[in-house]
Chain A
Amino acid sequence: MNYLDVMSEPPLVLQRDDSVADALKRMLDQRLTSAPVVDGKDRFVGMFRVRRVVGLALPKAATLDKLVDDISFLNESLDDLKRRLGAVAKDAVGRHLDDTVPVVTPKMALAEILLLLYRSSNTLPVVEQPSRKLLGIVTSQRILNSLLGNA
């Protein structure tokens, strides 16, 4: 078993210049929590995550790790959250993507791929090196289905 056995075609690939609003709509329509992002030459540049968009509805300083322990003092209304999301709706997804995500490469053993999924997130990109061409994605669900013989 290698990466080809567990790799899937990504249901959605975003372009770096796509707007946040457009990307989010497509992801919500397809019930996706993350999608790979590529540049004009189809090179992988990062993952765009719904979780990141949730953070964009909060004050930026509140989302910095370990700096603000508690924001219950904010007294935010629904309109406040909408206003912040509205302010970034036209931004390109390239401004808000996760470019530190670990990538799966064709040379990786299956156990190594499992470890990456365990340590980072449920969906990881499979990227050819050194061209950084996006080959597909691996997900925890697909791997577990393969392991259980349900694929």
Chain B
Amino acid sequence: MHGEGGAGVPDVVFGWSPIWVATILLVVTYAVIMSERVNRAIVALLGAGLMIVLGVLNQAAAVRGVDFNTIGLLTGMMIIVAITRRCGVFQYLAIWSAKKVKANPAGIMFMLQIVTAVVSAFLDNVTTVLLVIPVTLVITEELGVKPWPFLISQIFASNIGGTATLIGDPPNILIGSQVGLSFNDFVLNLTPVIIVVQLATSLIFHVLYGRQMESTPEARERVMRFNERDAITDVRLLRQSLTVLGIVILAFVLAHTLRLEPGTIGMLGAAILLLLHCFGRPAEQQAHETQQIFNEVEWITIFFFVGLFIVIAGVESAGLLKLLAHELVSATEGDLTLTALAILWASAVLSAIVDNIPFVATMIPLIKNMAPTFGGPEGLMPLWWALSLGACLGGNGTLIGASANLTVAGIAERAGHPIRFVPYMKVAFGVMLVGVAISTVYVYLRYLT
């Protein structure tokens, strides 16, 4: 039917050029993902299957397109969190921080943002809000204050904190893995600006909501009576989980010296924690526990990534991204500053509206194709940081901008405090733009002058 190129790319697909078929498949896949009519994992896997069936890629090329480093890191960290969360350490942190500020409502709002941001820097954002938001609702109920400011500020904190490290947010995992950037690269380049963005955001929320908050002495006394030590349900598991989590983070820091990829570190950490958790139990119970823990892995996200990698491999090998990169460079006339700022702001605005994972997955090969214009891979560094900051922070702009936002909205609705799309956006979009503006100044001063 068609000839096969060296990279597994045929010259002709049903009489059309592969670039057209790949473009149509990419656009349709994106459109259906955005419509939210079909689960995104199903859409991505269908798109991937069609890329192969229609001959844009063969199966070997499709499998090569899947970044198993990203898949391993995501799955490994999900398993570690699924075990760690059972010991109650995150509830402990939330209650401890609330009592540290003597149960002052504005102080609690600030402290919970910091806890959420720090935890999000090391764990998946959705997991973080799933752990912290229920305790937040208990605290606000006891204080007799409206939970809305706490919820919106913690959505922001989870997305901002997640931007600080390689493992904090899926776009960073993607960028780190595919560009070869280490945990330390992210910490050195993104954490400083993220601290500033988080503090500025907390200040805005304090001015908007915190300073008007009031609570009775009786209500505050009720929160002060919380005993954070009782939140720890399993001390042995706490020790095991924190030890493994600590070693995993240390291994990320020393990854270059150890010559280990993040995917290996994540999966090995997960396997060790599983071993510690199950060791000594009867075989049947081990099978039950392991099954329960595997059930908590977000397989939708994992399969979404697998499908998406193949779709992107299709458009990449068909030459579409090279063409788009050339067009973008032409539009910015090869000016690095203009290109970096265009990527930062376009990523932020688009990520507020569409899922930032497929967007970043598409942008990575597109930016790589710009290397010749900007003097090789080193010249692209400002663009990677611009992409990460824009895509991760932009997710705060609307309720559908990031998975953590929808997760909080879901819990809030069940608790009788619904968060609606328009009221959220009225506050959030502007606050998000402040963070992007701070990032613009940072990227410009640090990398472009």
Contacts and interface: CB of A to CB of B under 8 A. Distances in A.
Contacts of B313: none
Interface string A53-77: 0000001111010011111111100
A80 interface: yes
Interface stretch (B179-187, B224-232, B425-433): B224-232
Given A70-B231, A73-B95, A60 B226 contact: no
B415 A73 contact: no
Interface string B63-100: 00000000000000000000000101001000100000
Contacts of B414: 64
B208 to A, nearest CB: 23
Given A74-B226, A75-B226, A80-B222, A59 B231 contact: no
B95 A59 contact: no
A42 to B, nearest CB: 29
Contact of B411 (A64, A70, A73, A80): A64
Contacts of A59: 137-138, 141-142
A75 B133 CA distance: 20
B416 interface: yes
Nearest to B136: A61
B137 A61 contact: yes
Nearest to B85: A69
Contact of A69 (B86, B133, B222, B228): B86
Chain A interface size band reads 10 to 19
B243 interface: no
Given A73-B91, A75-B227, A64 B138 contact: no
A122 B245 CA distance: 46
A62 B222 CA distance: 16
Given A60-B415, A61-B141, A80-B222, A72 B231 contact: yes
B233 interface: yes
B219 to A, nearest CB: 11
A70 B231 CA distance: 7
Given A60-B415, A60-B416, A69 B138 contact: no
Contacts of A80: 222
Given A59-B142, A60-B141, A67-B130, A73 B228 contact: yes
Given A59-B142, A60-B416, A67-B411, A73 B231 contact: yes
Nearest to A71: B138
Q: Which 3 A-B pairs have the closest CB atoms?
A: A61-B137, A67-B134, A72-B230
Interface of B: 86, 88, 91, 95, 130, 133-135, 137-138, 141-142, 222, 225-231, 233, 411, 414-416
Contacts of B230: 70, 72-73, 75
Contacts of A67: 130, 133-134, 411
A74 B88 CA distance: 13
Nearest to B130: A67
A75 B88 contact: no
A62 B414 CA distance: 11
Given A68-B135, A70-B231, 6 more contacts: A60-B137, A64-B134, A67-B133, A72-B230, A73-B95, A75-B225
Residue in B138, B228, B233, B411 with the greatest tally of chain A CB atoms within 10 Å: B138
Contact of A61 (B222, B225, B415): B415
B413 to A, nearest CB: 10
B95 to A, nearest CB: 6
A73 B142 contact: no
19 contacts: A60-B137, A60-B415, A61-B135, A61-B415, A64-B411, A64-B414, A64-B415, A67-B133, A67-B411, A68-B91, A69-B88, A70-B88, A70-B91, A72-B227, A72-B230, A72-B233, A73-B228, A73-B231, A75-B230
Contacts of B416: 60
Interface in A2-57: none
Contacts of B231: 70, 72-73
Nearest to A63: B415
Contacts of B411: 64, 67
